[in-house]
Amino acid sequence: MNTIIQARGVRKQFNGKPVLDGINLTVPSGRIVGLIGPNGAGKTTLLKGILGLAPVQGDLQVFGLDPVKHRVKLLEDVAFIADTAILPRWMKVQQLLDYVEGVHPKFNRPKALAFLQKTQIALHSRVRELSKGMVTQLHLALIMAIDSRLLVLDEPTLGLDIVYRKQFYEALLNDYYDAQKTIVITTHQVEEIEGILTDLIFIHNGKIVLETSMDDLPQHFMALQVEPPQQTAALALGPIDVRPMLGGLRMLFENANAAQLQTLGRLLQPSVADVFVAKIAPNLHVKGEFYAN
Protein backbone atom coordinates (compact mmCIF):
# COMPACT_ATOMS: atom_id res chain seq x y z
CA MET A 1 0.00 0.00 0.00
CA ASN A 2 1.45 3.37 -1.07
CA THR A 3 1.97 6.15 1.47
CA ILE A 4 0.22 9.37 0.45
CA ILE A 5 1.11 11.62 3.40
CA GLN A 6 4.17 11.13 5.62
CA ALA A 7 4.97 13.49 8.50
CA ARG A 8 7.92 13.14 10.86
CA GLY A 9 8.67 15.73 13.54
CA VAL A 10 6.59 18.42 11.83
CA ARG A 11 6.59 21.72 13.72
CA LYS A 12 5.22 25.22 13.26
CA GLN A 13 5.28 28.27 15.51
CA PHE A 14 3.35 31.54 15.51
CA ASN A 15 4.77 34.35 17.63
CA GLY A 16 6.94 31.87 19.47
CA LYS A 17 4.00 29.61 20.35
CA PRO A 18 3.99 26.04 18.96
CA VAL A 19 0.98 25.35 16.75
CA LEU A 20 2.32 22.03 15.47
CA ASP A 21 4.51 20.31 18.03
CA GLY A 22 6.34 17.29 16.60
CA ILE A 23 3.60 15.80 14.42
CA ASN A 24 4.16 12.21 13.28
CA LEU A 25 1.59 10.54 11.06
CA THR A 26 1.22 8.28 8.06
CA VAL A 27 -1.75 8.23 5.67
CA PRO A 28 -1.77 5.30 3.20
CA SER A 29 -3.62 5.35 -0.11
CA GLY A 30 -7.23 4.28 -0.31
CA ARG A 31 -8.22 5.57 3.15
CA ILE A 32 -10.81 8.04 4.44
CA VAL A 33 -9.20 9.79 7.39
CA GLY A 34 -10.97 11.97 9.94
CA LEU A 35 -8.67 14.67 11.35
CA ILE A 36 -10.53 15.77 14.47
CA GLY A 37 -9.61 18.45 16.96
CA PRO A 38 -11.00 21.46 18.84
CA ASN A 39 -10.60 25.01 17.59
CA GLY A 40 -6.96 26.05 17.66
CA ALA A 41 -5.69 22.46 17.80
CA GLY A 42 -3.55 22.85 14.67
CA LYS A 43 -5.81 21.15 12.09
CA THR A 44 -5.87 23.97 9.55
CA THR A 45 -2.13 24.66 9.94
CA LEU A 46 -1.39 20.99 9.30
CA LEU A 47 -3.66 20.98 6.24
CA LYS A 48 -1.95 24.10 4.88
CA GLY A 49 1.38 22.33 5.27
CA ILE A 50 0.07 19.26 3.43
CA LEU A 51 -1.28 21.43 0.62
CA GLY A 52 1.93 23.45 0.31
CA LEU A 53 0.16 26.67 1.32
CA ALA A 54 2.54 27.31 4.23
CA PRO A 55 6.02 26.01 5.05
CA VAL A 56 6.56 23.86 8.14
CA GLN A 57 9.64 22.54 9.90
CA GLY A 58 10.45 18.85 9.90
CA ASP A 59 9.89 16.20 7.24
CA LEU A 60 6.54 16.43 5.43
CA GLN A 61 5.95 14.64 2.14
CA VAL A 62 2.87 14.21 -0.05
CA PHE A 63 3.22 11.59 -2.80
CA GLY A 64 6.89 11.56 -1.81
CA LEU A 65 7.29 15.26 -2.67
CA ASP A 66 7.86 18.42 -0.66
CA PRO A 67 4.45 20.18 -0.77
CA VAL A 68 5.93 23.69 -0.94
CA LYS A 69 8.71 23.04 -3.47
CA HIS A 70 6.52 20.88 -5.72
CA ARG A 71 3.13 22.51 -5.19
CA VAL A 72 2.38 23.01 -8.89
CA LYS A 73 2.96 19.33 -9.61
CA LEU A 74 0.94 18.25 -6.57
CA LEU A 75 -2.04 20.34 -7.69
CA GLU A 76 -2.52 17.86 -10.52
CA ASP A 77 -3.41 15.16 -7.97
CA VAL A 78 -4.70 17.09 -4.95
CA ALA A 79 -8.08 18.80 -4.56
CA PHE A 80 -9.05 21.00 -1.61
CA ILE A 81 -12.33 22.22 -0.18
CA ALA A 82 -11.96 24.97 2.44
CA ASP A 83 -14.44 25.82 5.18
CA THR A 84 -15.31 29.04 3.34
CA ALA A 85 -16.12 28.85 -0.35
CA ILE A 86 -14.69 31.84 -2.26
CA LEU A 87 -15.84 32.10 -5.87
CA PRO A 88 -15.91 35.10 -8.26
CA ARG A 89 -19.23 36.77 -7.46
CA TRP A 90 -19.65 38.26 -10.94
CA MET A 91 -19.39 34.94 -12.81
CA LYS A 92 -22.30 32.78 -13.86
CA VAL A 93 -22.39 29.14 -12.85
CA GLN A 94 -22.06 28.15 -16.51
CA GLN A 95 -18.95 30.33 -16.83
CA LEU A 96 -17.39 28.74 -13.74
CA LEU A 97 -17.86 25.31 -15.28
CA ASP A 98 -16.25 26.55 -18.50
CA TYR A 99 -13.33 28.05 -16.58
CA VAL A 100 -12.55 24.99 -14.43
CA GLU A 101 -12.88 22.74 -17.48
CA GLY A 102 -10.39 24.93 -19.30
CA VAL A 103 -7.73 25.06 -16.58
CA HIS A 104 -7.89 21.60 -14.99
CA PRO A 105 -7.24 18.55 -17.19
CA LYS A 106 -8.95 16.19 -14.73
CA PHE A 107 -12.23 18.09 -14.41
CA ASN A 108 -15.27 15.94 -15.22
CA ARG A 109 -18.01 18.31 -16.40
CA PRO A 110 -20.83 15.70 -16.52
CA LYS A 111 -20.07 14.76 -12.91
CA ALA A 112 -20.24 18.43 -11.84
CA LEU A 113 -23.58 18.82 -13.62
CA ALA A 114 -24.86 15.68 -11.91
CA PHE A 115 -24.03 17.18 -8.51
CA LEU A 116 -25.69 20.48 -9.43
CA GLN A 117 -28.88 18.72 -10.56
CA LYS A 118 -29.43 17.72 -6.94
CA THR A 119 -29.53 21.40 -5.94
CA GLN A 120 -31.67 24.44 -6.78
CA ILE A 121 -28.74 26.15 -8.54
CA ALA A 122 -29.48 27.37 -12.08
CA LEU A 123 -26.64 27.46 -14.61
CA HIS A 124 -27.53 31.03 -15.65
CA SER A 125 -27.35 32.34 -12.06
CA ARG A 126 -24.45 34.54 -10.98
CA VAL A 127 -22.57 33.62 -7.83
CA ARG A 128 -23.66 36.85 -6.12
CA GLU A 129 -27.30 35.78 -6.57
CA LEU A 130 -26.79 32.52 -4.68
CA SER A 131 -27.33 31.99 -0.98
CA LYS A 132 -24.38 31.06 1.24
CA GLY A 133 -25.50 27.45 1.23
CA MET A 134 -25.79 27.41 -2.57
CA VAL A 135 -22.28 28.85 -2.97
CA THR A 136 -21.01 26.01 -0.79
CA GLN A 137 -22.93 23.50 -2.90
CA LEU A 138 -21.48 24.96 -6.08
CA HIS A 139 -17.96 24.85 -4.69
CA LEU A 140 -18.42 21.21 -3.67
CA ALA A 141 -19.73 20.31 -7.12
CA LEU A 142 -16.70 21.87 -8.83
CA ILE A 143 -14.12 20.21 -6.59
CA MET A 144 -15.81 16.81 -6.37
CA ALA A 145 -15.79 16.65 -10.16
CA ILE A 146 -11.98 16.79 -10.27
CA ASP A 147 -10.45 13.32 -10.50
CA SER A 148 -7.71 13.80 -7.91
CA ARG A 149 -5.81 11.15 -5.93
CA LEU A 150 -6.00 13.12 -2.67
CA LEU A 151 -9.06 15.10 -1.58
CA VAL A 152 -8.68 17.36 1.45
CA LEU A 153 -11.93 18.58 3.03
CA ASP A 154 -11.79 21.28 5.71
CA GLU A 155 -15.30 21.59 7.21
CA PRO A 156 -16.77 20.87 3.77
CA THR A 157 -20.46 21.08 4.73
CA LEU A 158 -20.29 24.16 6.94
CA GLY A 159 -23.48 26.18 6.47
CA LEU A 160 -25.39 23.42 4.69
CA ASP A 161 -28.67 21.95 5.92
CA ILE A 162 -28.77 18.39 7.18
CA VAL A 163 -30.41 17.03 4.00
CA TYR A 164 -27.64 18.26 1.70
CA ARG A 165 -24.95 17.25 4.18
CA LYS A 166 -26.28 13.70 4.04
CA GLN A 167 -26.41 13.82 0.23
CA PHE A 168 -22.85 15.13 0.09
CA TYR A 169 -21.38 12.33 2.17
CA GLU A 170 -23.35 9.76 0.17
CA ALA A 171 -21.90 11.25 -3.01
CA LEU A 172 -18.45 11.19 -1.46
CA LEU A 173 -18.70 7.42 -1.13
CA ASN A 174 -20.72 6.58 -4.23
CA ASP A 175 -19.43 9.03 -6.83
CA TYR A 176 -15.90 9.90 -5.75
CA TYR A 177 -14.18 7.39 -3.53
CA ASP A 178 -12.49 4.24 -4.74
CA ALA A 179 -9.45 2.23 -3.67
CA GLN A 180 -7.08 4.56 -5.52
CA LYS A 181 -8.24 7.75 -3.78
CA THR A 182 -7.45 9.10 -0.35
CA ILE A 183 -9.64 11.56 1.56
CA VAL A 184 -8.76 13.65 4.61
CA ILE A 185 -11.72 15.31 6.37
CA THR A 186 -11.82 17.81 9.22
CA THR A 187 -15.19 18.61 10.75
CA HIS A 188 -16.88 19.43 14.05
CA GLN A 189 -19.86 17.27 13.06
CA VAL A 190 -18.12 14.05 14.02
CA GLU A 191 -21.31 12.00 14.19
CA GLU A 192 -22.03 12.63 10.50
CA ILE A 193 -18.74 11.20 9.22
CA GLU A 194 -18.23 8.37 11.71
CA GLY A 195 -19.85 5.84 9.39
CA ILE A 196 -17.63 6.60 6.38
CA LEU A 197 -14.20 6.83 8.03
CA THR A 198 -11.54 4.14 7.78
CA ASP A 199 -9.07 5.94 10.05
CA LEU A 200 -9.12 8.45 12.87
CA ILE A 201 -6.61 11.07 14.01
CA PHE A 202 -7.16 13.32 17.04
CA ILE A 203 -5.03 16.46 17.30
CA HIS A 204 -4.87 18.68 20.39
CA ASN A 205 -2.52 21.55 21.22
CA GLY A 206 -0.47 20.77 18.13
CA LYS A 207 0.09 17.11 19.05
CA ILE A 208 -1.40 13.85 17.79
CA VAL A 209 -3.18 12.28 20.76
CA LEU A 210 -4.76 9.37 18.87
CA GLU A 211 -4.06 7.68 15.53
CA THR A 212 -5.96 4.47 14.85
CA SER A 213 -8.10 2.68 12.29
CA MET A 214 -11.85 2.53 12.86
CA ASP A 215 -11.58 -1.26 12.89
CA ASP A 216 -9.18 -1.12 15.84
CA LEU A 217 -11.13 1.51 17.80
CA PRO A 218 -13.42 -1.01 19.63
CA GLN A 219 -10.36 -2.97 20.77
CA HIS A 220 -8.88 0.09 22.48
CA PHE A 221 -11.93 1.86 23.90
CA MET A 222 -14.91 0.51 25.86
CA ALA A 223 -17.68 2.24 27.77
CA LEU A 224 -19.13 0.80 30.96
CA GLN A 225 -22.51 1.59 32.47
CA VAL A 226 -22.05 1.16 36.22
CA GLU A 227 -24.63 1.15 39.01
CA PRO A 228 -23.72 2.49 42.50
CA PRO A 229 -22.70 -0.82 44.17
CA GLN A 230 -19.92 -1.41 41.57
CA GLN A 231 -18.75 2.19 41.11
CA THR A 232 -15.84 2.10 43.56
CA ALA A 233 -14.44 -1.09 42.02
CA ALA A 234 -14.86 0.28 38.49
CA LEU A 235 -13.19 3.59 39.34
CA ALA A 236 -10.22 1.68 40.74
CA LEU A 237 -9.56 0.37 37.21
CA GLY A 238 -8.70 3.87 35.98
CA PRO A 239 -11.33 5.12 33.51
CA ILE A 240 -10.21 7.98 31.29
CA ASP A 241 -13.64 9.61 31.48
CA VAL A 242 -16.51 9.45 33.98
CA ARG A 243 -19.93 10.99 33.48
CA PRO A 244 -23.16 10.79 35.49
CA MET A 245 -26.18 9.10 33.96
CA LEU A 246 -29.60 8.10 35.20
CA GLY A 247 -29.09 5.56 37.99
CA GLY A 248 -25.30 5.46 37.90
CA LEU A 249 -22.14 6.42 36.05
CA ARG A 250 -20.87 5.94 32.53
CA MET A 251 -17.14 5.31 32.36
CA LEU A 252 -14.85 5.10 29.37
CA PHE A 253 -11.77 2.87 29.47
CA GLU A 254 -8.73 2.67 27.20
CA ASN A 255 -6.92 -0.64 26.67
CA ALA A 256 -8.77 -2.27 29.56
CA ASN A 257 -9.64 -5.93 30.19
CA ALA A 258 -13.13 -6.47 28.74
CA ALA A 259 -13.79 -9.60 30.80
CA GLN A 260 -12.96 -7.74 34.00
CA LEU A 261 -15.14 -4.77 33.10
CA GLN A 262 -18.07 -7.01 32.22
CA THR A 263 -18.31 -8.21 35.82
CA LEU A 264 -18.92 -4.63 36.99
CA GLY A 265 -21.63 -3.43 34.64
CA ARG A 266 -22.90 -3.23 31.10
CA LEU A 267 -20.31 -2.86 28.33
CA LEU A 268 -21.10 -0.42 25.52
CA GLN A 269 -19.33 0.66 22.36
CA PRO A 270 -18.51 4.38 22.61
CA SER A 271 -18.96 6.66 19.62
CA VAL A 272 -16.11 8.62 18.06
CA ALA A 273 -17.52 11.71 19.77
CA ASP A 274 -17.39 9.94 23.14
CA VAL A 275 -13.75 8.96 22.62
CA PHE A 276 -12.86 12.43 21.37
CA VAL A 277 -14.32 14.14 24.44
CA ALA A 278 -12.60 11.64 26.74
CA LYS A 279 -9.19 12.19 25.11
CA ILE A 280 -9.46 15.96 24.74
CA ALA A 281 -11.58 17.09 27.71
CA PRO A 282 -12.10 14.24 30.19
CA ASN A 283 -14.70 14.75 32.89
CA LEU A 284 -13.61 13.03 36.09
CA HIS A 285 -15.45 15.34 38.47
CA VAL A 286 -18.52 13.49 39.70
CA LYS A 287 -20.73 14.38 42.67
CA GLY A 288 -18.15 16.70 44.17
CA GLU A 289 -15.33 14.16 44.10
CA PHE A 290 -12.34 14.16 41.71
CA TYR A 291 -11.43 10.76 40.36
CA ALA A 292 -7.89 10.85 39.00
CA ASN A 293 -6.74 8.27 36.50
- pLDDT at position 292: 42
pLDDT value at 177 more than 80: no
How many domains is the chain partitioned into structurally?
2
Question: What mean pLDDT do residues 232-240 have?
Answer: 94
Query: Which one-letter amino acid corresponds to residue 292?
Result: A
Q: Judge contact between 159 and 81, C-beta under 8 A.
A: no
Question: How many Cβ atoms sit within 10 Å of the Cβ of residue 137?
Answer: 25
Question: Helix (H, G, I), strand (E, B), or coil: what is residue 163?
Answer: helix
Question: Final residue of a domain: which of 213, 240, 267?
Answer: 213
Q: What is the pLDDT of residues 63-76, one digit of tens each?
A: 999 999 999 888 88
Question: Final residue of a domain: which of 183, 213, 243?
Answer: 213
* Alpha carbons 248 and 235: distance in angstroms, whole number: 12
Within this chain, do residues 24 and 118 fall inside the same structural domain, yes or no? yes
Q: What is the pLDDT of residues 123-156, one digit of tens each?
A: 999 999 998 888 888 988 898 888 889 999 988 8
Domain that holds residue 283: 217-290
**E strand intervals along the chain:** 3-14, 17-28, 32-36, 57-62, 78-81, 150-154, 182-186, 199-204, 207-213, 221-226, 241-245, 248-254, 266-268, 285-286, 289-290
More confident: 158 or 80: 80
Within this chain, do residues 226 and 201 fall inside the same structural domain, yes or no? no
Q: How confident is the model at residue 290 (pLDDT cuts 50, 70, 90)?
A: very low
* Alpha carbons 156 and 16: distance in angstroms, whole number: 30
